[in-house]
Chain A
Amino acid sequence: MKPAAFTYHRARDVDGAVDLLTELGDDTKIIAGGQSLVPMMNFRLARPAHLVDVTALPGLSTISTDEEGLHIGPLTTHRAVETAPDSLIGHDHAVLREAMAWVGHLPIRTLGTVGGSLAHGDATAEWCLLAVLLDARVVVRGPGGAQRTIEAADLFLGFYMTTLAPDEIIVDVVFPKPAPHSALTEFAERAGDFAAVAAAVDLDLAVDGTVRGGRVALGGVAPVPVRVPEAEAVLQDGGTVGPELFAACAEAAEAAIDPPSDADGSSDYRRVLARTLIVRACEEAVAR
C-alpha cells in the first residue's frame, strides 16, 4: 500500500498550475487535500506520473457572498465550511454547513476540499449532491487564462468522471440561489462511511405553509448524483406541508429510480432507503 513513483510539482498560482497541467500531459493529477486520491494511489488504483499540488494557490479558500450568490473557494476545507460563522454562511445556505457532518470523519474534513470533492465526482459525495441540488455553478480556468462556467447538472458524466478537461482547474464554486429550507441526509452502516444512499431536498415554502415547488437529489442510486424530476413534480403540484406530501414525493422517487445492487445494498433496499431519506430530508428542511 505504497504509491508508484511520481514527480511532485508545487504550483504558485492558477495559471502556473494550468501551465504545469498542459506541459506534463495526461498522466498528471491535481492534488489538494488528497483524501480520495492518496488512498487510490496507495492501492495503486491511480498511478499518476505527476502530481501538481495546488494547496498553496492564493485566494482560493475564501467564502464570500455577492449578487451572484455564495462563493466557496475550491480549496476551502469541509471543516472550514462546517465551522463557518453565520456572517460567512447565513441561514440561506445553512444546509451546506450542516451537510458537512456527513463528510467522512474529522481528519478527512480537516484536509479534504470542496473543489477536490467536486472534481473527484463520487456519486455519493455530499458536495456533488449539494451542487446538483442547488444548481451550483463551477467556474474553471484552463490554458491561456480561459475561464468557463459549468452548471452542476453538466459536470458529472459517470463514476468518477466529470466534464472538467485535464488542464482545467476549479477556481470558484457558486451557489446562486438561497436555499433556506434545504436538508441533506444519508444512510450508511457506520458513521462516516460512504453513503449507501444520500438524499437532499430544497423546498420552496410559502408563508401559508404550502409547498410551491422544490428540488430532490439522490446519491448512491446511479453513477452520478441525480435530480429526480418525478419527485419534484409532486412538490410542484403544491400542497400542504406534511407527512402525506412528503410520502408522495418519496414514493414518486422510489418508483422512478433504478439503483445498482452491490455489497452495500440491493437495488430494492436502496429504493427503500431513498424513500426513507427523502421523507427525513423533507422533515428537516421544513423544520429549518
Chain B
Amino acid sequence: MTSTDVAPEKGSWTGTAVRRKEDTRLLSGAGTFVDDITLPRMAHAQFVRATVASGRLLSIDLSEVRRVPGVIAAYTAADLDLNDITAVLDRPLEEFVPTAMPILARDRVRFAGEPVAIVIAEDAYAVEDGVEAAQVEYEALDAVPSEEVALSAGAPTVHDEVPGNTLLDVSMFATEGIDDVFASADCVVRVDTRSSRQNALPLETRGVVASWHARDENLLVQTCTQVPHTVRTAMARSLGLAENRVRVTVGDMGGGFGIKCVVGREEIAAAAAALRLGRPVKWIEDRKDALTASFLGREQHYDARAAFDSEGKILALDSDIVCDMGAYSCYPFTAGIEPLMASAEMPGVYKVPAYRVRARGITTNKAPTAPYRGVSRPQFVMTMERLFERAARELDMDPVEIRRRNVITRFPYTGVNAITYDPGSYLEALNLAEQLVKDEGWYELRESAAAQGRTIGIGYCCFNERSGYGSDAFAKRKMSVVPGYDLAEARMDTSGTVVVSTGTLSHGQSHETTMAQIAADRLGLSPDQVKIQQGDTERIAYGWGTFASRSITIGGSAVSRAADRLGEKLLHLGSHMLETTPDNVELYDGTVRRIDDPDQAVGYVDIADIAYLRPNLLPKATEPGLTGSGDFDTPGDGTFSNSTHAVVTELHPGTGKVEILRYLCVEDCGVAINPQVVDGQARGGIAQGIAGALYERITYDDQGEPSAASFIDYKVPTAAEIPDVAISHLETPSLLTESGAKGSGEGGTIGAPAAVVNSVNDALRHTGVEFDATPITPEQVQHALEAHS
C-alpha cells in the first residue's frame, strides 16, 4: 500500500489525508524500537535505586552483587567518575538557583527510586538478581513530599544550596494600578486550582543500547529520545568525550510526550558501563521504574484572582503559581520550564488589561519532572476557565457569553504579557462549538434530564496553543540553551527520488508522511518519492528534535526551504537542457517543463543523470550533484493555534461515575498538512487530557514513597473510558510559517481538563459544589451528589 492510494486534494499533497507511510511497518510489527536491538556480546543493565526519598548515602556494598551468577560488573558513582548534568538559566540567583544532577547518587539521595548504582549482567534476569544483592545503607532524613512541607518555615532542604526549596521565583508584569482595579471592580473571583502529579506514559519506556565502535571511533548510542543532538551534547560532556566521539541514533519510538525531550541519567550510566567493559550495554526501563523513577509531570497549584466589570469584561488577573518540579532540574530546560511558561502565557485567549504573576518552581523529594505535553498550559487554562465560570455564576451570565465578551478578536494582538498573537479564530471557534452543542440538542437534554433525576452538565474550554517557539521566544525566557531554529537538507539521487533530512524527530507524529507531503509539493513529486531521514546525529547536521509543536512549524518550514533550493537547481539545469531561461520553466510531476511550451519537458532522472554521472555536460560554474539546504527560525513570539472544546457529561448517582456523553473539538491549526494526522493528534491529546481530569494521579506518603508502581494503581484510562471525539476544523493560516501550518501537537491535552471539569461542575450546579482540582474521582462526585440529594 502506498500513500498515492489517496489522490491529492486541491491539487496539492498539503491538506490531503495521505495514508501514513509509517503504518505498514508499525502495524505489521516490523518497527525497530530500542528493545528490538540486539548486538553481539550485549550485556544488560539495571539500577540499584534508593529506597528512601531523602537520605545520606552511608555505604554501598556491591561485593555480593558481583558474586551473583551472570553478573559482569557493578559500579557506583565513585567507580564511574562522571560529570554531573547542570541545567542553567541566564537569570540572577534571586530568580533561579542551578542545581547539579549526578548520574548516580553520590552522598545524598533525593527521591525514592533515584539510581545509586548500575549493575551489568549477561541477561535481563541475572541483572535483577544482581540488583537485589546490593547492600546500601542510608541515614534517612526528613523528606519533603509536598508543596506544603517544601514551603513551610524551617522545612528540610532537598538541596543544601537551595534554602526554602525554591529553584525558581519570578514576579512579572505587575501592571500599574492593578490593586486599585481589584479594589473597585464589580466582581472579583478567586480559585485555588491543583493538578496531580502524572506520568506522560509513553508506551515505549526509556531505554538505550550503547556500544563502542572502534572503526568509527565513536560511542553509538541507540536510544529513544526526542532530542538526539541535545543528548549527544550532555552525554559527551558527562563522559568527558568530544562530541565527534558520540553518535546518537533513534529508530521507531513509542511516544515521548515531553519526558523524552530532557536528558536522562540512566542512559549515560549505561554508556559509561559500555565504555568501561568494551561491550554493548542495553538498558530498558521497566514499567515500575517508569512509573516511579522516570520524569513525571503536571503537579501545579494556582491561587488566582480575576476582576470583572458588571458586563463580564475581565479587568485584571493576579496569579500565584507553584510548580512542584521534584528532586532535580531537567536538562536542558531547568525547573523553570513550567513556571516560566505559565507566567508568560496565562492570559491566553483573553483580553486581560492588567496582569500580575508570581511563579515558583520548587524542589521536593519526588522523581524529577519534565515538560509533559501541554507544559503548564493544561493547568493555567483550567485556572483561567474556572475563573470565567465562577465570574459567570457571580454575574448570572451564560458561560459562553462571558467568554465571547473577552476573547481576542483583532490580530495581531499584543497582550499585557508582552506576547504578540498572530491571527486566529478564537471567537469563531467558540461560536461554532456552541452552535454544535445547540444543534445536537444537548441543552434541551440537560434541562429535561433534571426532571428525570439525571445529572447532566455542559462544559467549555477556550484556549490557544502557542507553537513553533523560535530562538527569540526562548531567549525572552532567559534560557541559556536556546533552541528554536532547525535545519533541513534535500538530496535528489540518480533515480530522481529524494531524501530529505530534518533536525526534528518523529516519535509518533507521522513526520515521514507529513514532511514528505511538504517536500513533494515543493518539488512536483509524490510523497512516495520522498524519504525522510531523521534521528541520527552523524547524518543530520544539527537539530533540536521534536517538542513544543515545533516540527511542522519550524522543521517543516526548513524542509520547504531545502526543497525549494533543490528545486532551484532542478530549474537551473532543466532550463539549460531545454535551452531556455530559468524563468521560463517550472517543476511539474517529476519534470522541469517550459512554461511557454509545456510539452517541452525534461525528467528529473535525466537531469540527475547529468548532475551526477555526466558533469561534463553541466553548464559552466555549476557544481555537480542535486542538493539543497534550508533553515528556519520562527520570528517573534511564534504562531498560535486555537481551539474550543465542548463536553457533555452525565454523573451517575450511586457510584459517582462521570460518563462523557459527547466530546466536541473545534480546532484551528492553520493549514493542516495531513488532516488525518491532525485529528489523531487532537484525539490522543484529548485522551491524555481526560486522563488528567478524571483518572491519573501519583500520590506520595509523608515519607515521599510513591503510591503507583503498576497500572493497578496508576489508572491510565483505556479505550473503554475515552469517548469518540467529533472534530471540526477552521483554518486561519499562519503568516509566519512556510506552509501556513501551526502546531497541533498539544492542543487536545491543553483543553480537555478544563472542559471536563467545567462540565462536571455544570452538572453539579444545583449542589453548589465546584471542583478545582484534578483528577475528579468517582468517590468525590458521589460525595457531592449525596450531600445535596
Contact = CB atoms under 8 A, between A and B. Distances in A.
A159 interface: no
B701 to A, nearest CB: 11
Given A5-B129, A190-B715, A191-B718, A273 B707 contact: no
Given A5-B129, A189-B695, A194 B712 contact: yes
Contacts of B216: none
A276 B713 CA distance: 24
B125 A2 contact: yes
A75 to B, nearest CB: 26
Chain B interface SS verdict (over half): loop
A24 interface: no
B718 A190 contact: yes
Interface in A230-281: 263, 265-266, 269, 272-273, 275-276, 279
Interface stretch (B264-272, B331-339, B778-786): B778-786
B2 interface: no
Given A269-B779, A272-B786, A263 B713 contact: yes
A81 B709 CA distance: 32
Contacts of B710: 39, 43
A133 to B, nearest CB: 21
Contacts of B782: 269, 272
Given A191-B718, A269-B779, A1 B657 contact: no
B720 A2 contact: no
B382 to A, nearest CB: 21
Contacts of B709: 43
A265 B713 contact: no
B654 interface: yes
Given A265-B779, A272-B786, A190 B695 contact: yes
Contacts of B655: 187, 272-273, 276
Max chain A C-beta neighbours (<10 A), residue from B287, B654, B782: B654
B287 A190 contact: no
A84 interface: no
Interface string A1-36: 111110000000000000000000000000000000
B786 A2 contact: no
Nearest to B284: A1
A192 interface: yes
Contacts of B287: 1
B653 to A, nearest CB: 8
B712 A189 contact: no
Contacts of B721: 190-191
Interface string B647-661: 000000011110000
A190 B129 contact: no
A134 B657 CA distance: 29
A194 B654 CA distance: 19
A263 B129 contact: no
Contacts of B777: 189
A266 B718 contact: no
A193 B707 CA distance: 17
B128 interface: yes
Interface in B625-659: 654-657
Contact of B720 (A3, A191, A269, A275): A191
Nearest to B719: A191
A192 B718 contact: yes
A264 to B, nearest CB: 9
Max chain A C-beta neighbours (<10 A), residue from B124, B695, B720, B779: B779
Contacts of A190: 695, 715, 717-718, 720-721
A1 B286 contact: yes
B209 to A, nearest CB: 18
B654 A189 contact: no
Interface in B195-238: none
A43 B713 contact: no
B25 interface: no
B13 to A, nearest CB: 39
B128 A189 contact: no
A189 B655 CA distance: 10
B766 to A, nearest CB: 20
A35 to B, nearest CB: 13
A235 to B, nearest CB: 20
Nearest to B697: A263
B288 interface: yes
Contacts of B717: 190
B124 A2 contact: yes
Contacts of A192: 718, 720
A276 to B, nearest CB: 3
A193 B715 CA distance: 9
Nearest to B288: A1
Nearest to B721: A190
Contact of A2 (B128, B699, B778, B779): B128
A3 B207 CA distance: 20
B116 to A, nearest CB: 18
A168 to B, nearest CB: 29
B654 A275 contact: yes
A98 B132 CA distance: 43
Interface string B751-789: 000000000000000000000000001110011001000
A83 B656 CA distance: 32
Nearest to A39: B710
Contacts of A4: 128-129, 132
A265 B721 CA distance: 19
Contacts of B718: 190-192
Contacts of B715: 189-190, 193
Contacts of A187: 655, 657, 778
Contact of B654 (A5, A193, A263, A276): A276
B710 to A, nearest CB: 7
A193 B779 CA distance: 16
A43 B720 contact: no
A43 B712 contact: no
A191 B722 CA distance: 11
Nearest to B127: A2
B654 A272 contact: yes
Contacts of A3: 125
A266 B720 CA distance: 25
A266 B779 contact: yes
Interface string B275-291: 00000000000111000
Contacts of B720: 190-192
A8 to B, nearest CB: 13
Contacts of A43: 288, 709-710
Nearest to B652: A276
Nearest to B783: A269
B707 A263 contact: yes
Interface in A190-217: 190-194
A93 B777 CA distance: 35
Contacts of B656: 269
A242 B655 CA distance: 21
A1 B717 CA distance: 22
Interface string A176-197: 0000000000010111111000
Q: Nearest 8 pairs between A and B by C-beta?
A: A276-B654, A191-B720, A1-B286, A269-B779, A2-B125, A2-B128, A187-B655, A189-B715
Given A1-B288, A39-B710, A191-B718, 12 more contacts: A1-B287, A2-B124, A4-B128, A4-B129, A5-B129, A43-B710, A187-B778, A190-B721, A192-B720, A263-B713, A273-B654, A276-B655
22 contacts: A1-B128, A1-B286, A2-B125, A4-B132, A5-B125, A43-B288, A44-B132, A187-B655, A189-B777, A189-B778, A190-B695, A190-B718, A190-B721, A191-B718, A191-B721, A192-B718, A194-B712, A269-B656, A269-B782, A272-B786, A276-B654, A279-B654
